[in-house]
Chain A
């Protein structure tokens, strides 16, 4: 029970420290009185007795101090007392305290939020079984190659094929729906360690084209569409084929690998060779065997490359698959985003540093005011440790307030980041503030609080006593050390601002350069939508053609529609669809890889609809069809590459697997394909009669507002055939903007941080200069009294500001240069050596410093010489 008594005693002491002290004083006084009475009884006079008693006892104050020292709760009661006195001091200057807490909250909150993002996206392991043993190959493989890998590979326990996202029609509903599906072989679910919650996964038999078509549902699709549990065995129409439902996946599904509504089996047997080896390509997933390293996996894949190559039913280039690499699954998922996130992380770290430096400078300047108090306390015997303890406790209390508020800022910042980061950042949906984030917040608070608080505390406690005990205040000399600390902190802030501003300027230039890139077409007033008729609609090619012809005629009949074109792809939105071709007159040695170019099948009005110019020859016409001569259009890049300086009209090329030569009848302009930053690929175009892909994108040029146009489009399509889904309806303008989204998001965030840090740095500079002016008041007063013009006094202050700026630039510009070099692939049309950018940064920083110096400078010029010289 002893600990209970101790606890009670401790709490009592903590709660009413003043009462406990009073009790102690009373107790010691009682002793003194009793001793005095004793001496009085022995014959001394009252005063003599009292004096003797006092002398025997010693100083009651020192005794009381010793008694207090014995308490183990001393540390806590001292800390509590320090916090209370700090709270009172804070209340006396509420504005500064509020600013300090807000600044800390901003810094700690954004650091916590950023850490949550980095943790969720980059650090947290994937939710699969032993995720670090999973790899994905960086090149796609043909469907039929699965059996080769399964039979011959030595480094893996199992191998699977996956197409993470395709779109399928799911039918028999009021509105035909377009859903996302994954296509997977039987090994994929076991590799990931996922078992269906109901039913079974795929088996090797399901991969044969001849067996019953099956499908796996994801949990949310089942919850949406079906009420009963026993959906196993029911049929679902997918792309016109009835498929038997054999299982339901658990609620997480295949996340974060892909987010789909259903899973179809990959077909690796039973189709003609062209389909198995030529047109169906998959990602290769595998689980490493025991003690197999990733390097060994890569070596094994490369060893198998010639075997796979020789299994092809036609000749493949000798170097086929020689560069294949096995990449750990997490890295293959988030590798692209890593650099962007790290840049953001650096920016946030600078914001945190800046915020802490700002508040630390504040603490030091407030402590300077109390120097005299500390000097006196040291003189009567306070230990240095006690003073450091007090300062540190007050600072930590301030930091903890900032940290608690920072949690609120963090949750705001987190939702902001989730909205702001482009949607292609993987695993973004799983962001939340949870225990790891809270622990980080606490850790960051304590570490920065101790780090930034210890420095001023130690400097303050090493006060030189003598100048303070003199009547004179001491002047500049003794406080110079303190000022140096503050100056250092302000310079650190300004240097951080330099780095961030420099990054913002470079990104702004990149963004500007990107917007200046001509995409090759005119996206104004064009609406695009994807039409995906399935087998029911397009039982044969003639029916498909007539469906599209109907749609085209009806759309052209709509008012305000100037052109309607079709194509089997979309510009800007993704990597080009490459096809292997033979170009007449450019033979390829056997075994070498064939030429590739991007292919698009278009209707004649396509070029008019998106305003892609025809530079030479002619475009397509309605006459170009199945029965006329095979014709082709190439783009300028193609013509430049293969026939520089010659007339491309009349030249011929063909698909590698078809003997038909096609003649070039015209040259069209280049169109960017994989985003604005990448050069336009070599491209050739076929007319829609001579190749008939089933899914086409329609482009409608019209001056009508697009929501209304979209409605009319759906009506038209439904009238032509009710079961054809219309998906991805959007204005073409949106595609161009979307390709800039990543850079824009990064730029806005970086500018926001840069602005905040610059503001903090400017405030810090103002503080330093103002402090400087008030410390040098006497000197300035003397100068003015001796006849110096006000202008020269102002110049003194401005020069000080410029000096701070120069030091900050000297530190910041090399740091910014280093950071820009690391992040070079985020920039476009500019680099770390961009002179204009550096110059801009210089100008911005100097202007900021001078602005911060205006008020102190004018205040310096207005110093009253008489008062300054007289006052001490």
Chain B
């Protein structure tokens, strides 16, 4: 079978991250040469805008507090707001000789946060520091993520996660403790649950109301990509041979086995992208294969065969808000665009 790709672009540098803005109508790809490519998130994407982001490379590319824009933190100490329609950046802040490992924008548009080492800086809508001195994390944070309504900021670190309420004046943190190095963070869409992926290839989670915990082990690799599916029925995760989907409807995943999607074939899922509306997940693998798998047990569809475009792992996978266009980035620097139409056409040809 050939790839169902509708359009593709080959860049001269590796793609380090791929991200959609909060509106879901623009997509940004950060490259290893410090530049970024901006595309409208639809089949109208033809020529990307090219912009220079950092002297070295972007370490963190995220949707901004402004639903239209992106936020990028780099190894040159700069934090940039990117306006994709205009194709320009605004310097929000700069810390010379420091790395900006993580950036985050709150969904209510009020705050932006980033770290320099163990210090977490929070800026208000006017770009002014919210606190007299930065918040501190017990170790370099593994991630910085605002809750879906923007009211709380989470920083994962060694031995747990620290949480701060944005409407509180003081800087005291609530600490969720669990031994080990916590990396990525995800909030459930209703903000009631928080999960982290860990250095030792497991997930850990807390139900915030009563601190009831959950632990999911057995992954072959670190879980680098996760997302809640439509209506938060499942949490789809990478890091295994199959897409592992933990059931969250009906009171939580405790005591329930995960739904596993995709075949088992000695490859590793590197990226998952739940469809924004339908009960389906797109997944990318370490050999470049991409599938679309329905959550109801029907067979998955392969939309990009392994090594069809290049042999490198899928590094980013993103839907637009409308759910009719899927972008996929390979580590070595190819960006692919699939539409539901191009997928349907490719399937017809196969059959």
Chain B binds chain A: no
Chain B contact residues, CB within 8 Å of chain A: none
